[in-house]
């Protein structure tokens, strides 16, 4: 077939969403998935840097980190972990529903995922507000409310440098804050996907955007799967109270 021939029998019946530089929908879907995975690699390195900072300072100041960690509310943290795991399940079900053409189910699962994401952020807001109320926001982020832990509430042993405790809260807010930002972005993405699903954009032939959004959402869940034990559970075997 001579080059430059614009229409062939295949192209005349090509799917609406098939871009011209791909042979078929399957190749396009695989390429899109690969692109999202490469982006997730950069995200792994991004969060990896913060996990490294946590690792180094935890081993430099183990007692201060354990004491500070014990003041986090393990019930709220545990509930949030369960919330995100359920949301990963509903996201996987949304992808499945799209793959088998069950549009209404996919919309319901997408909405459930968004609702669970909002629940997570709501619980996070409660936790952050508790930190603000207890003057545990590090540095001078809140003008007029410097970091000032109550030694009795936090069970600080005498002589513990407050700066080391504050360092834990720097890392706590940096990591959970960055994670929450990723959740907000994820919910924005899922809102767009839900609207497109309502508008009948997706089908068993064209579900790549739903799957790719799912990859992002599962990644954010995986980050929290590591954050929860490292931030909330590290000192429980020493003191054992619920925060």
Partner 1 sequence: MSEHIVYPRVYVTIFLALLVGTGVTAWVAFYNFPGPLNAVVALTIAVIKATLVILYFMHVRYGPRLIALIIAAALFWMAILFALTISDYSTRAWLPVT
Q: Which residues bind partner 1 (CB under 8 A)?
A: 25-26, 29-30, 33-34, 37-38, 40-41, 44-45, 48-49, 52, 55-56, 59-60, 74, 78, 81-82, 85-86, 88-89, 91-93, 96, 99-100, 204-205, 211, 214-215, 218-219, 221-222, 225-226, 228-230, 233-234, 236-238, 240
Determine whether 221 is exposed, middle or buried from the number of CB atoms within 10 Å of its CB (0-12, 13-18, 19+): buried
- State which residue, 59 or 159, has the beta carbon closest to partner 1: 59
Cβ distance to partner 1 smaller for residue 37 or 129:
37
Chain centroid to Cα 183, Å, comes to 5
- Contact of 230 with 47, CB cutoff 8 Å: no
Minimal distance in Å, beta carbon 1 to partner 1? 25
Q: State the DSSP code for 228.
A: I
Do residues 61 and 226 lie in contact, with contact meaning Cβ atoms separated by under 8 Å?
A: no
Question: What residue spans of the chain are helical by DSSP H?
Answer: 9-12, 25-60, 62-70, 74-99, 103-133, 162-198, 208-227, 236-239
Question: Cα–Cα distance between 101 and 77 in angstroms, integer?
Answer: 36
Least distance between partner 1 and beta carbon 92 (Å): 5
In whole angstroms, the minimum distance from the beta carbon of 42 to partner 1 comes to: 9
Nearer of residues 47 and 147 to partner 1, judged by Cβ: 47
Cβ-based burial of 1 (10 A; exposed 0-12, middle 13-18, buried ≥19): exposed
Least distance from partner 1 to the Cβ atom of residue 154, Å: 19
Tokens of 121: 């952020």
Which residue, 147 or 224, is less far from partner 1 as judged by CB? 224
The residue among 79 and 196 lying less far from partner 1, judged by its C-beta, is 79
Closer of 65 and 147 to partner 1 (Cβ): 65
Q: How far is the CB of 40 from partner 1 (least distance, A)?
A: 8
What six digits make up the tokens of 95? 């992808």
Smallest separation (angstroms) from partner 1 to the CB of 234? 7
């Amino acid at each position: 077939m001579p080059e430059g021939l614009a229409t062939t029998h295949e192209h005349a019946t090509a799917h609406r969403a098939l871009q011209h530089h791909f042979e078929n929908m399957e190749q396009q879907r695989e390429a899109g998935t690969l692109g999202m995975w490469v982006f997730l690699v950069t995200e792994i390195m991004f969060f990896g840097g913060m996990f490294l900072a946590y690792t180094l300072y935890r081993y430099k100041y183990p007692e201060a980190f354990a004491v500070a960690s014990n003041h986090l509310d393990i019930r709220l943290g545990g509930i949030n972990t369960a919330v995100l795991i359920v949301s990963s399940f509903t996201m996987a079900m949304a992808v499945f529903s799209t793959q088998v053409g069950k549009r209404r189910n996919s919309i319901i699962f997408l909405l459930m995922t968004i609702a669970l994401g909002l629940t997570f952020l709501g619980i996070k807001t409660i936790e952050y507000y508790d930190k603000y109320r207890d003057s545990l926001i590090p540095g001078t982020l809140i003008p007029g409310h410097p970091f000032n832990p109550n030694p009795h509430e936090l069970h600080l042993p005498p002589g513990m440098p407050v700066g080391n405790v504050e360092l834990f809260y720097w890392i706590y807010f940096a990591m959970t804050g960055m994670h929450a930002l990723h959740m907000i972005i994820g919910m924005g993405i899922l809102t767009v996907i839900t609207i497109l699903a309502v508008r009948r954009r997706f089908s068993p032939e064209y579900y790549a955007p739903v799957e790719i959004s799912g990859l992002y959402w599962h990644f954010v869940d995986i980050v929290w799967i590591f954050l929860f034990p490292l931030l909330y559970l590290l000192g429980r075997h020493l003191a054992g109270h619920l925060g």
